[in-house]
Structure 1
Amino acid sequence: MTLEYIYLHGFASSPKSAKAKDIGDRFAKIQTKLKIPDLNAGDFSHLTITRQLTQIAKEFPDTSVPVILIGSSLGGLTSAHLGQQYQQVQRLVLLAPAFGFLFHWLPRLGNEEVQRWQLEKYLMVYHYGEGRSLPLSYGFVTDATQYQEELLQRPIPTLILHGRKDEVIPIEASRDFARSRPWVELVELDSDHALGNVMEEIWQAIYLFCQLP
Structure 2
Amino acid sequence: MTENLPRTYIYLHGFASSPNSFKANYLRDRFAEITLPLKIPNLNQGDFSHLTLTRQLEQVAREFPAKPATVTLIGSSFGGLTAAWLAEQSPQVDRLVLLAPAFEFLSHWMVSLGLKQMEFWQEEGYLPIYHYGEKREIPLSYQFITDAQNYIENQLQRQLPILILHGVKDEVIPVEASRRFAASRPWVKVVELDSDHGLGNVMPEIWEEIKGFCGI
The bucket for the TM-score relative to the shorter chain is: over 0.9
The CA distance in 2 between the partners of 1:43 and 1:211, in whole Å, is 36
Identical amino acids, percent of aligned pairs: 64
What is aligned with 2:69? 65
In the superposition, the TM-score normalised over structure 1's length comes to 0.99
Cα deviation for residue 174 of structure 1 reads 0.1
What is aligned with 2:31? 27
What is aligned with 2:199? 195
Cα deviation for residue 98 of structure 1 reads 0.1
Gaps of 5+ in 1: none
Kindly indicate whether residue 137 of structure 2 is the aligned counterpart of residue 130 of structure 1. no
Q: Aligned letter for 1:132?
A: R
Q: Aligned letter for 1:197?
A: N
Within 5 Å, which residues of 2 pair with 1:1-213?
1-212=5-216
RMSD between superposed Cα atoms in Å = 0.5
**Secondary structure class of the residue paired with 1:176:** helix
In the superposition, the TM-score normalised over structure 2's length comes to 0.97
Q: Aligned letter for 1:40?
A: N
The CA distance in 1 between the partners of 2:190 and 2:136, in whole Å, is 34
Alignment: residue pair count: 212
Per-residue CA deviation, residues 94-149 of structure 1 (Å, 9 max, x unaligned), is 00000011100011111011001001000000000000000000000000001121
The CA distance in 2 between the partners of 1:28 and 1:52, in whole Å, is 25
The CA distance in 2 between the partners of 1:133 and 1:57, in whole Å, is 28
The CA distance in 2 between the partners of 1:34 and 1:169, in whole Å, is 26
Q: Aligned letter for 2:119?
A: Q
